[in-house]
Amino acid sequence: MLKRNRSLRHLSVIASITSISLVTGCGVFSSDSAEGEGPIIVGTTSAPSTLDPAASWDGSWELFRNVYQTLLSYPAGASAPEPDAAESCRFTDNSNRTYSCKLREGLSFSDGHALDAEAVKHSIDRIRKIAVDGGPAGLLGSLARVETKGTDEVVFRLNKPDATFPFVLATPAMSIVDPEEYPADALREDSEVTGSGPYSLESYEEGQEARLVRNGNYKGSADRQNSAVTIRYFQDSDEMVGALKDRKIDVTLRGLAAKDVVALEDRRGKDDIQLVEGAGTEIRYLVFNPKDPWARKAAVRKAVAQVVDRPAIAHSIYKDTVEPLYSMVPSGLAGHTTGFFDDYGSPSTSKARQILLEAGISERVPLTLWYTTDRYGSMTKPEFEELRRQLNETGLFSVTVKGRPWKTYEAGYRKGEYPVFGRGWFPDFPDAENFIAPFVGEQNALGTPYKSPEITDVLLPESRRRTDRGDVVEQFEKAQNILVDDARLLPLWQGKQYIAASEEISGVERSIDPSTIMMVWELSRKPSW
């Protein structure tokens, strides 16, 4: 039975990005045009795990958004998806079960092959046919089949009403690929990309860099402000910020450590670096593996939830650049609640001990907490060491922490190797649905089945019937109550969006879409004075 004492907190939609300039004056080094002096170089700690959209439901989307194209996307300043490869898209019925898109004229891939309705159908169908564990097939649960009408119209028949389907089509997971280069029943094996996005992938060195150049065949909504962009992948924030200060890169995207953010703020006016801050919907959370003999016990999960001190993590580790999070839906989205705080309150060893004793657990609970060493920034390791300290200090747990690079880490959690593991989530689209639906069901983004019939069979279908997304708060509140009761997922914090850039770079404020993915075509060099 759901508890009724949860106080709910409703906050306004995500605030627009604001810029904090760390330099005054006009002593900048710049080119004479937006396309001068070589490519703009973007640094990030979030390297792709794959180049094939059918395999990825992760940070690989950062690259995908810029080299592939989707039917719909988010132009600068948009809060809802708008046509991109499509000329127009709409529901053609009153029940939100038939969605039709008409393509732009003359579309082609970077290799010159035609992009038509069959190519779109091929791209979507292969996601479901290949069905990579933890891959994007989970986003297509409402899709029954894809049809084509002539060469320029694609019709999506849904098996149930789904007002969020346009948001799904706007995710980089639904990137359109060349049928001649991407098999219908297998992933592409080489390190090449054949897309129709604003840029072509000129070269790619795994874990090192991706070189992007303008795609001469591109037709879409992106107004490219530069001729080329190179994305460089770093192992940690220190190295990346050092490269920015040494002018080896122009912009940082993901992975700025809290100490670097604080240091950049403190040096306002002393460095030729700007820091752009925006409200974000990035979250961090723990996942409990139902196959593990200890993590599968509800009492163990709830005891952990009772002990974890989120404000201490936010303050001591992240220097208040993040905020404690008490539900899987972040603040700023309709349907956000504070369920974990309402149920558990402040951290309490005595309450956690009582939870365990009532379940017949009197010995110290052995748990291993796993994290990725190169995906979410250099503060992830200290964060997990702090979690270990908090849990072990109670005398109720015997916790160890272990880390792996993302590629092997991801493979490990998909195989169910980790009792408890950390994940980050950058939204597929800015809706509370995207902080619940991807984590439940047999096939989800976590690689660990999470059966919750009330969420998957009742609450989510109810919400998807509502075109007005502000009218689904009740369903999402109930879903979050279930997540709190199960404690299979434990939210930790919600992050802000920070981008550091050379003062000569413009367009940074416009470069982040509502799902916090960088549209590198918005970046340019300021003209010389």
* Residue type present at position 471: D
pLDDT computed for residue 37 by the predictor: 66
Q: Which amino acid is at 50?
A: T
pLDDT at 74: 87
Residue 42, token pair as written in the block = 């973007």
Q: Which range is least confidently modeled, 5-19, 137-151, 348-362? A: 5-19
pTM (predicted TM-score)? 0.75
In the DSSP assignment, the letter for residue 471 is G
Percentage of the chain exceeding pLDDT 90: 68
Distance CA 305, CA 348 (A): 10
Pairing of strands 365-372, 397-404: parallel
Tell me what pLDDT residue 157 has.
98
State mean pLDDT over 305-322. Answer: 96
Specify the higher pLDDT residue, 118 or 25.
118
Give the separation between CA 7 and CA 28, rounded to whole angstroms: 50
pLDDT of residue 33: 35
Q: Which residues pair with 165 in a beta bridge?
A: none
Dump pLDDT digits (tens) for 38-87.
899 999 988 898 999 999 877 789 999 999 999 999 887 777 899 999 99
List of residues 6+ apart from 397 with CB closer than 8 A: 303, 304, 307, 364, 365, 366, 367, 391
Note whether 234 and 243 are within 8 A (CB). yes
Q: What is the pLDDT of residue 161?
A: 92
Q: Which residues pair with 427 in a beta bridge?
A: none
Question: Quick one: which of 173, 147, 144 has its CA closest to 161?
Answer: 144
The full 3-state SS of 246-281, as one line of letters, equals CCCCCEECCCCCHHHHHHHHHCCCCCCEEEEEECCC
Tell me the three state secondary structure of residue 413.
helix
Checking if the pLDDT of 3 tops 80, the result is: no
Other beta carbons within 10 angstroms of residue 105's beta carbon come to: 8
Number of helices (H), then strands (E), belonging to the chain: the values are 14, 22
Residues 50/63, Cβ–Cβ less than 8 Å: no
Q: Distance from CA of residue 294 to its chain's centroid?
A: 29
Task: Rank 67-71, 461-465, 506-510 by mean pLDDT and report only the highest.
Answer: 67-71
435 by DSSP, 3-state: which?
helix
Mean pLDDT of the chain: 89
In this predicted structure, the answer to whether residue 21 has a pLDDT above a threshold of 80 is no
Percentage of the chain beyond pLDDT 70 is 92
CB atoms within 10 A of CB 75: 17
Closest CA relative to residue 294, chosen from 159, 140, 397: 397
Residue 220 has pLDDT above 90, yes or no: yes
Read off the pLDDT of each residue in 119-144 and give the average, rounded to a whole number: 93
State the average pLDDT over residues 387-407: 97
**What average pLDDT does range 148-160 have in this prediction?**
97
Task: Give the range with max mean pLDDT: 11-25, 81-95, 462-476.
Answer: 81-95
Over the stretch 250-279, which tens digit does the pLDDT of each residue have? 999 888 888 889 888 887 666 789 998 876
**What integer pLDDT is reported at residue 279 of this predicted model?**
67
Over range 130-143, report the average pLDDT: 88
Which pLDDT belongs to residue 281? 84
Residue 439: how many CB atoms within 10 A of its CB? 23
Q: What is the pLDDT of residue 78?
A: 78
Instruction: Note whether 257 and 233 are within 8 A (CB).
Output: no
C-alpha span between 363 and 53 (Å, rounded): 46
91-95, 228-232, 428-432 — which one is most confidently predicted on average? 228-232
Q: Which long-range contacts (CB under 8 A, 24 or more apart) does 121-126 make?
A: 121/146, 121/147, 121/148, 121/154, 122/177, 122/179, 122/182, 122/184, 123/53, 123/174, 123/175, 123/176, 123/177, 123/179, 123/182, 124/156, 124/174, 125/184, 126/54, 126/177, 126/182, 126/183, 126/184, 126/185
Residue 8 pLDDT: 33
pLDDT band at 422 (very low <50, low <70, confident <90, very high): very high
As a whole number of angstroms, the distance between CA 4 and CA 377 comes to 38
pLDDT above 60 (res 13): no
Structure tokens at 113: 């092959």
Q: Which of 257-271, 359-373, 380-394, 468-482 shows the lowest per-residue confidence on average (mean pLDDT)?
A: 257-271
Question: Which token pair is 88?
Answer: 């127009």
3-state class (DSSP) for residue 414: helix
Across residues 223-236, what is the average pLDDT? 95
Q: Which has more confidence, 135 or 409?
A: 409
Confidence of residue 529 (pLDDT cuts 50, 70, 90): low
The SS3 call for residue 66 is: helix
